[in-house]
């Protein structure tokens, strides 16, 4: 087997079971490994530390399959890892009243670069690394063997594949192609998900528990749901007894679906406003008009895709949170999130605090929020905690 030899003194993270080897830690190659091929990872003194998938084009040169160098990477390996991931979800009480959840969450489930989401009778896959792409057939076969699904659809159309030297790829892989919209349930609510062209794999499954929490703060509230997408947070606010919900979103198509969701769940459309606009600009308009809300939700897209973008992202987060604080009535509540992996929790908390300070608000953290448990955070892989959020209350 080909091997990647690590520079002297650079093996510490591997010994702590971190699953990545960066290009700067590589001393030399043994053999000529191809993209995605399994390689041994060796320390400078010749010890074999792990096995992983080689990626010649990526800054993450090797993604580890296993820290046991004797582990065979074959179809049985992927079957076992899928079996373990599915069994884990089967123990989660949060998934008992939904038919949509994450089955595989990449490195946190021991399958780097593999993401699998289930929507009713369909599995939607992303193969985002060289190793994941090489073993796609075995992964799909394991899914077919273990899940009662009608079809498997691929959504490997993210920028992550470009960094791995892979072209985008999407479309049906096996079975029946998914319908244009898949009906899913989340507690008492129904949603229709576009897995073919929607954001991510079609729906923000990672916000499930946070949406339920919004409902608890919604009785009698006038709610602003910014970056609304297809309206899931706002639907839960209505389910919790919100007086009005304003969905603010740049995509008219997404808001059309939010309107469908309102009717699908039997809510009064007179309580719902659909505003198609740039969120930053519209928040300023609301501020200048003197509009006020009892509850504001900020769930923006990723502002920092790379470490070099953190400063710019921080300014963006500061801007929208400052505006949100100025739109809240005394005693109001802000649910604010960042899905930028390069913006850690401590920095995001500082940004929200600075925004509150500039707005002249005294605020308290009511809840420290993160991703749903079917998107697990591995303790050996802190990068897997990508979603940060706070529910904060303004003193009256």
For residue 101, what are its two tokens? 């959840």
pLDDT at residue 342 in the model: 86
* Residue 107 binned pLDDT confidence (cut-offs 50, 70, 90): very high
Of 18-32, 265-279, 305-319, which range is least confident? Answer: 305-319
CA 32 to CA 1: how far, in whole Å? 10
- Which residues share a beta bridge with 365? 392
CA 219 to CA 24: how far, in whole Å? 53
- Taking 80 as the threshold, does the pLDDT of residue 53 lie above it? yes
* Residue 305 binned pLDDT confidence (cut-offs 50, 70, 90): confident
E strands, the chain, in order: 3-6, 20-22, 26-30, 38-42, 48-54, 60-66, 100-105, 114-119, 122-127, 151-156, 169-175, 182-186, 189-193, 222-226, 244-249, 272-276, 293-298, 328-338, 363-369, 388-394
pLDDT at residue 308 in the model: 87
What average pLDDT does range 284-311 have in this prediction?
92
By the 10 Å C-beta count (0-12 exposed, 13-18 middle, 19+ buried), 150 is classed as middle
DSSP track, 3-38: EEEEPTT--HHHHTT--EEEGGGEEEEES-PPTT-E
| Summary mean pLDDT of the chain | 96
What average pLDDT does range 90-118 have in this prediction?
97
Annotated domain spans of the chain: 3-66, 75-182, 204-394
Verify whether residue 339 is a known catalytic residue.
Answer: yes
What average pLDDT does range 7-21 have in this prediction?
95
Please report, for residues 328, 347, 364, 367, 368, the alpha-carbon distance to residue 395 in angstroms, rounded to integers and kept in the order given: 11, 23, 8, 15, 18
What average pLDDT does range 370-384 have in this prediction?
96
* Residue 306 binned pLDDT confidence (cut-offs 50, 70, 90): confident
Q: Which of 339, 351, 356, 394 is catalytic?
A: 339
For the segment(s) 204-394, the CATH number from 3.40.50.150, 3.40.50.1100, 3.20.20.70, 1.10.260.40 is 3.40.50.150
Span 340-367, pLDDT tens digits: 888 999 999 999 999 999 999 999 999 9
Write the class of the CATH domain 3-66.
Answer: mainly beta
Query: Cα angle vertex 336, ends 330, 339, to 5°?
Result: 175
The CATH superfamily of 75-182 is RNA methyltransferase domain (HRMD) like (3.30.750.80)
Span 149-187, pLDDT tens digits: 999 999 999 999 999 999 999 999 999 999 999 999 999
* Residue 258 binned pLDDT confidence (cut-offs 50, 70, 90): very high
| pTM, to two decimals | 0.95
Taking a C-beta distance cutoff of 8 angstroms, is the pair 160, 147 a contact? Answer: no
Of 5-19, 302-316, 324-338, 341-355, which range is least confident? Answer: 302-316
pLDDT at residue 208 in the model: 98
pLDDT at residue 339 in the model: 94
- Taking 90 as the threshold, does the pLDDT of residue 396 lie above it? no
């Amino acid at each position: 087997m080909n091997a990647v030899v690590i520079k002297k003194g650079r093996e510490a993270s591997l010994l702590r079971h971190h699953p990545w080897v960066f290009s700067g830690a590589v001393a030399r190659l043994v053999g000529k490994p191809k993209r995605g091929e399994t390689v041994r990872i060796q320390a400078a003194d010749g010890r074999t530390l792990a096995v992983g998938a080689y990626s010649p084009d990526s800054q993450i040169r090797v993604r580890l399959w296993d820290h046991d160098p004797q582990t065979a990477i074959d179809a049985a390996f992927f079957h076992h890892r899928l079996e373990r991931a599915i069994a884990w979800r089967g123990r989660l009480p949060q998934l008992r009243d939904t038919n949509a959840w994450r089955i595989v969450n990449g490195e946190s489930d021991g399958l780097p670069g593999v993401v699998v989401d289930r929507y009713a009778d369909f599995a939607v896959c992303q193969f985002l690394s060289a190793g994941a792409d090489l073993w796609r057939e075995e992964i799909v076969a394991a899914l077919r063997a273990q899940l009662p699904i009608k079809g498997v659809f691929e959504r490997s159309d993210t920028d992550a594949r470009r960094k791995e030297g892979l072209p985008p790829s999407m479309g049906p892989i096996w079975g029946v192609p998914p319908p244009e919209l898949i009906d899913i349930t989340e507690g008492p609510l129904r949603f229709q998900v576009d897995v073919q062209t929607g954001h991510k794999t079609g729906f923000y499954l990672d916000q499930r528990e946070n949406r339920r929490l919004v409902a608890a703060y919604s009785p009698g509230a006038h709610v602003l749901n910014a970056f609304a997408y297809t309206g899931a947070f706002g639907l839960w606010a209505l389910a919790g007894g919100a007086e009005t919900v304003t969905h603010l979103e740049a995509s008219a198509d997404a808001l059309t679906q939010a309107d469908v969701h309102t009717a699908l769940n039997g809510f009064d459309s007179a309580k719902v406003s659909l505003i198609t606009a740039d969120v930053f600009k519209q928040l300023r308009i609301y501020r200048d008009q003197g509009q006020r809300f009892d509850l504001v939700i900020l769930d923006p897209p990723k502002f920092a895709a790379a470490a070099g973008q953190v400063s710019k992202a921080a300014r963006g987060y500061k801007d929208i949170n400052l505006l949100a604080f100025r739109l809240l009535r005394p005693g109001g509540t802000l649910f604010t999130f960042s899905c930028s992996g390069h913006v850690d929790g401590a920095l995001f908390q500082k940004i929200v605090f600075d925004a509150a300070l500039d707005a002249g608000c005294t605020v308290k953290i009511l809840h420290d929020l993160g991703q749903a448990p079917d998107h697990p955070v591995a303790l050996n892989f802190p990068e897997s905690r990508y979603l940060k959020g706070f529910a904060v209350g303004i003193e009256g």
